Amino acid sequence: MSALLDSGSHLHAPNFSDGELAELNARFERAAASTIIEWAVEQFHPFMCLSASMTDALLIDLAVSVEPSIEVVFIDTGYHFPETLETVEVVRRHYGLNLRVLTVPPQPVELWQADPENCCSAAKVEQLDRALVGKLAWMSGLRRSEAPTRANAPIVARDLRGLVKVNPIATWSDTDVDGYIADHGIPVNPLLARGYPSIGCWPCTRPVADGEDPRAGRWAGRDKTECGLHL
Ligand code: SF4
């Protein structure tokens, strides 16, 4: 029986204090991503999942090397580029993934245009909430160098639900990512090579020019920079 279950099979979340989280972040600041993932798996598996955007399979590659049965969650908003959905299948086959795809009920017409906050809330955040029922922790590939809004992202934190959120590659630079992908033959979304360094839903993502902020193509022209998944 998992150490997270008592004799009545009730789930108990490890209760990390703010001080313990700070210590973990200090310890992991220079740790290898695989070391961070090993810690997370030891603490939370099987009550943990990995949320994947399918921009590339780097974090998936690292995670399944530690624990092949880890649950990978992909939220199909109904607005993904065909290339992203193709990448989901390529990655699923490549790794024999334990993949869970969450689909979204049809939205009112063009909600993304009229009210992107509520569109993201219904199509992304509510689906992640659903994916995290019965979980204690989740992992994401969020990195500090992706955007100024992410510059201080912790490696281990508590999210708004009270679950533990682990960002094993928070400290990785773009060069680190490109090097790992090249060295390990990691599957990537073909849109990366077509000027889309950050890939979301097609209505809210445009390609960026050389030298532009990598996330400048997300919700371009709107006062919105994040979908709300990483809160
Ligand atoms: S990124 Fe755009 S289309 Fe996708 S959920 Fe958010 S508002 Fe809707």
Q: What is the pLDDT of residues 20-78, one digit of tens each?
A: 999 999 999 999 999 999 999 999 999 999 999 999 999 999 999 999 999 999 999 99
Q: With bands split at pLDDT 50, 70 and 90, how would you rate the model's confidence at 1?
A: very low
Give the number of the atom of ligand 1 that is nearest the alpha carbon of residue 111. 8
Q: Residue 14 has what pLDDT? A: 74
Question: Using one digit for the tens of pLDDT, what is the confidence trace for 190-216?
Answer: 999 999 988 999 998 989 888 888 778
- For atom 5 of ligand 1, the residue with the nearest CA is 120
Using DSSP, state whether 184 is helix, strand or coil.
helix
In the residue annotation, 227 being an active-site residue is answered as yes
Q: Residue 80 has what pLDDT? A: 95
Kindly state the average pLDDT of the residues 150-178: 96
Pairing of strands 156-158, 137-139: unpaired
Using DSSP, state whether 113 is helix, strand or coil.
helix
Using DSSP, state whether 216 is helix, strand or coil.
coil
Question: Using one digit for the tens of pLDDT, what is the confidence trace for 102-149?
Answer: 998 777 668 888 888 888 888 888 999 999 999 999 999 999 998 888
Residue 202 Cβ < 6 Å to ligand 1: no
Q: Which residue has the tokens 């974090």?
A: 59
* CA distance between the termini of the chain: 31
Give the number of the atom of ligand 1 that is nearest the alpha carbon of residue 218. 1
Residue 204 Cβ < 6 Å to ligand 1: yes
Give the number of the atom of ligand 1 that is nearest the alpha carbon of residue 122. 5
Residue 123 Cβ < 6 Å to ligand 1: yes
Rounded to an integer, what distance in angstroms lies between the CA atom of residue 120 and that of residue 226? 9
Using DSSP, state whether 107 is helix, strand or coil.
coil
Q: To test the ligand 1 pocket, which listed residue (120, 124, 125, 198) has its Cβ within 8 A of the most ligand atoms?
A: 120
Q: With bands split at pLDDT 50, 70 and 90, how would you rate the model's confidence at 220?
A: confident
Structure tokens at 215: 């996330």
Rounded to an integer, what distance in angstroms lies between the CA atom of residue 202 and that of residue 220? 12
- For atom 4 of ligand 1, the residue with the nearest CA is 201
